[in-house]
Amino acid sequence: MKRWRIMAAAILSALTIGFSMFAPVDASAATSAVAVTNVNLRAGPSTRYPVVITLPVHAALTVYGCTANTSWCDVSWGRDRGWVAANYVQVFYRGSSVVVTPTVAPAIGLTVVTFNQTYWNTYYVGRPWYGEWNVYYGGGSRSVVRGCNDDSCGAAAVTRGPYGGGRAAVGGCQDGNCGGAAVTRGPYGGGRAAVGGCNDEKCAGAAVTRGPLGNTVVRHGSVSRD
């Protein structure tokens, strides 16, 4: 343990010197640190946010600030930007390597930073979960199940929005035939159901849209695969 602390102190000291050579005049804008273990870099300050990447132990980080309660810190590693629980972030303070705490953070110049959709839009465009901001931030939820047996494959997913809306989808393939269905419910009572599928000869689908005031529209059609 003592050897690790000496190594960490040496790494942090070198990082601090290197950073100061290229950093802006306002040195308090960012602080060098290391990850104390393999830890997930997340897209927001909570374990409910998706994982951006898993940081390796001793990863050299740049810390831009922490949440008001100093439980999560905004960091970057290479080209990746995200949030790490503060107790996995170690900085050099008063001659020692220590994890970030509410006492340490202001002492080394780390400011309070906030998380919002602008941050999300800046760093996560193109990620598979980028379009699910409301699911992660607004208190919604998403569950997915999938699998295959000897003859067929299937999958289902349910997403619930923060204001009562939701979406369920299911799909699968068996013996050369594929099909799928989805139901979307709006927060004010409207909804839409759709089903479709293909066999060796034809693809067909149908949709029912129901407005919040009770009006309904039905559409269906098919097409040959020749």
Read off the pLDDT of residues 119-165 as tens digits, 9 standing for 90 and up.
999 999 999 999 999 999 875 555 666 777 767 788 877 666 544 45
What is the DSSP-derived secondary structure letter of residue 17?
H
pTM of the model: 0.55
pLDDT of residue 6: 43
Q: How many residues are present in the chain?
A: 226
Chain mean pLDDT for the chain: 79
Contact call for residues 177 and 197 (beta carbons, < 8 A): yes
Helix, strand, coil shares of the chain, percent, nearest 5, are: 20, 45, 35
pLDDT for 31-59, tens place per residue? 999 999 999 999 999 999 999 999 999 99
**For the domain bounded by 2-133, which CATH number is listed?**
2.30.30.40
CA 112 vs CA 29, 45, 138, 158, 213: distances in Å? 11, 13, 22, 35, 46
- Where b means 16+ CB within 10 Å and e means fewer, 189-218 reads ebbbbbbbbbeeeeeebeeeebeeeeeeee
Report the percent of the chain where pLDDT is more than 90.
45
Give the Cα separation of 148 and 116 in Å (integer): 39
- Quickly tell me which residue has 């590693």 as its tokens: 77
Q: Where are the domains of the chain?
A: 2-133, 140-224
